[in-house]
């Protein structure tokens, strides 16, 4: 039974000096937080280094071979984050991951709605879920740190997957990657609160989709068009084949043609 008592609390290591609870093993940090939200506070973080049944959007599996990934969930109370719409939390998390990767000399970019890529390969995924009764948001982050490129589970993902160690040809300390990620998450949240354009500007500077022709699947329909950026609400904007502007709140995007191809 994984209760808070079975976790190692690291006081001061969460967001804004809150507590980080480190579990030896959990099926899913997001799922655990959603089931135990009453014991958690704004800024607390739940982490495991052995996530056995992680998931992404629409219940897709999220693979994290043990002791090789940062897998954690951050608890956010939207009422305490004036100035940021909670629909933007996952974009802030993607920017925080992208920022630390660049700091580690890994040329990462963000891909709408919730991915971080290096080249065409996915290195991190973000999943934001809202606990209905409390309104708290559980912001899950999975980052591939030391996964060897030959790991079979990771070779079976639909998009190619990659890890920090595979790119940099060296291993990273999971703890220092995690601590830096939490620090940058706090920085991006503060910047988004003080400047309503922060997310859009940072996204534009690091956008994997810039200039490309796309196919988007959303709500059981498929559309092709030219990417026209992310708007100030966080929606993907597409110019369809008739020249009409279309905006999407959610969906799965594939690049048909890169800029310059």
Query: Which residues form the interface with ligand BT5 (CB under 6 A)?
Result: 28-31, 54-57, 60-64, 71-73, 114, 122, 125-127, 140-142, 144, 154, 157-159, 161
Residue with smaller CB distance to ligand BT5, 58 or 243:
58
Residue among 100, 57, 73, 78 at smallest CA distance from 188: 100
Q: How far is the CB of 112 from ligand BT5 (least distance, A)?
A: 11
**Phi, psi torsion values for 88, nearest 5 degrees:** -95, -5
Q: For residues 55 and 227, which CB has a smaller minimum distance to ligand BT5 in the complex?
A: 55
Nearer to ligand BT5, 24 or 245 (CB): 24
**Closer by beta carbon to ligand BT5, 125 or else 225:** 125
**What three-state secondary structure class fits 56?**
coil
The nearest distance, CB 78 to ligand BT5, in angstroms, is 19
Q: Are residues 163 and 74 in contact, defined by beta-carbon separation less than 8 angstroms? A: no
Other beta carbons within 10 Å of 99:
22
CB of 60 to ligand BT5, least distance (A): 4
Element (H, E) at 123: strand 121-130
Output the smallest distance, CB 82 to ligand BT5, in A: 26
Report the Cα–Cα distance between both ends of the chain, in Å, rounded. 53
């Amino acid at each position: 039974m994984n209760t808070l008592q079975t976790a190692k609390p690291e006081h001061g290591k969460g967001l804004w000096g809150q507590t980080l609870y480190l579990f030896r093993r959990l099926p899913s940090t997001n799922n655990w937080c959603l089931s135990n939200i009453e014991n958690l506070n704004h800024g607390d973080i739940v982490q495991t280094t052995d996530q056995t049944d992680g998931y992404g959007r629409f219940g897709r599996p999220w693979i994290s071979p043990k002791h090789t990934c940062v897998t954690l969930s951050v608890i956010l109370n939207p009422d305490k984050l004036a100035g940021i719409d909670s629909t933007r939390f996952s974009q802030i998390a993607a920017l925080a991951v992208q920022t630390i990767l660049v700091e580690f000399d890994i040329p990462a970019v963000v891909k709408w709605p919730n991915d971080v890529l290096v080249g065409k390969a996915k290195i991190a995924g973000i999943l934001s879920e809202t606990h209905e009764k409390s309104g708290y948001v559980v912001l899950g982050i999975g980052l591939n740190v030391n996964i060897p490129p030959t790991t079979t589970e990771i070779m079976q993902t639909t998009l190619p997957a990659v890890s920090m160690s595979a790119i940099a040809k060296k291993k990273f300390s999971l703890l220092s990657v995690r601590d830096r990620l939490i620090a940058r998450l706090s920085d991006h949240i503060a910047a988004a609160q003080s400047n309503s354009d922060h997310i859009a500007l940072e996204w534009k500077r690091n956008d994997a989709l810039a200039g490309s022709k796309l196919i988007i699947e959303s709500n059981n329909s498929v559309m092709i068009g030219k990417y026209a950026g992310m708007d100030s609400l966080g929606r993907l904007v597409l110019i369809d084949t008739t020249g009409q502007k279309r905006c999407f709140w959610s969906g799965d995007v594939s690049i048909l043609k890169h800029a310059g191809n």
